[in-house]
Amino acid sequence: MRIKLKKLNLSILLIALFVIFAKFRNMVMMRICSKSLLSAVLTLVCALFFIGTAQAQQAQRHTIKHGGMEREYWLYLPENLKPDAPLVILLHGYKAKADGYRPEMMTVAKENGFALCYPQGALDGRGKTCWNVGYPFQEDLKTDDVDFLCTLARHLQKKHDLSRENTFLTGMSNGGEMCYLMAYLKPDVFAAFAPIAGLSMEWSYKKYEAMKPVPLMEVHGTADKTSKWEGDPFNEGGWGSYLAVPQAVAYWAAKARCTHEETTELPLVRNKVILHKYKGGEPAWKGGPATEVRLYEVVGGKHTWALNDMDTCQEIWNFFSIYLR
């Protein structure tokens, strides 16, 4: 069960106030003065210290001007982050909020020493937060999220001394679709991509060609009814036509000139997870490692981050870390 730090902070403060009240009541009743007062003050100081420590470990809200709009993002910088540290940008799904999204990833960021950014999608014509990936109902949407994410990445790299070469992109659902779009258009900005329950839209598949070998991993449930494993060529779901998941992943494996596939099963947690590794691809940069493309097939899995089936956040970082320079 996830416990938000904000609630934890409030609980700590209430406990501290209760302890202080009890001490002062005892002071009055027992006429004990200086030592009890000092103890109460120390209790308050300790409580405030722990609250400050907890707050420092939260993602902090920031804004940036882009396209005539003030865009929000939440940034988590682990303590003692080294100069030129990696940066991971994580995109929420349709209708979701960046604040408090996938806090499990902050634990991985802290343990592995990378910065983590949660941008907030803009509102579409329905009043829902989103990423502009060319859904039919986004036809009149003017938001340029491709440029926004590139601008945000460069801003964070410069402001916080983060690595330009080791910047990565992941996202869930609508955020996963954005990952696929960015893989076509901006593989020079992001070193690797990890769409989760994401779709490769048919329009972008027909319009663009991969510029170079692109490391990419997808996690997808075979029983996902929102982003169907088998694809939706006739737009029955209203999101637009999109490829079947194995076809979408196979495209990137082919473009990377991967030579063979290795198939294994992850340790069983709930649903079986079959890991398809397409290996032996050409390096994404001169002297770099062979490009690998992965598909985590969650058998019977639905439209989720698959946290009950595998350690998704750690798997994402394990994949990204292959391509650190």
pLDDT, tens digit (0-9, with 9 covering 90-100), for 71-88: 999 999 999 999 999 999
d(CA 283, CA 81): 28
pTM (two decimals): 0.84
Find the helix or strand (DSSP H, E) in which 62 lies. strand 60-66
What CATH number has the domain spanning 62-321?
Answer: 3.40.50.1820
Q: Is 45 exposed, middle or buried (0-12, 13-18, 19+ CB in 10 A)?
A: exposed
pLDDT given at position 57: 63
Domain assignments of the chain as residue spans, ordered by start? 5-55, 62-321
Rounded-to-10 torsion of CA 195, 199, 204, 206:
120
Model pLDDT, residue 37: 39
pLDDT of residue 189: 98
Task: Name the stretches of the chain with pLDDT < 50.
Answer: 1-56
Contact 249, 218 (CB under 8 A): yes
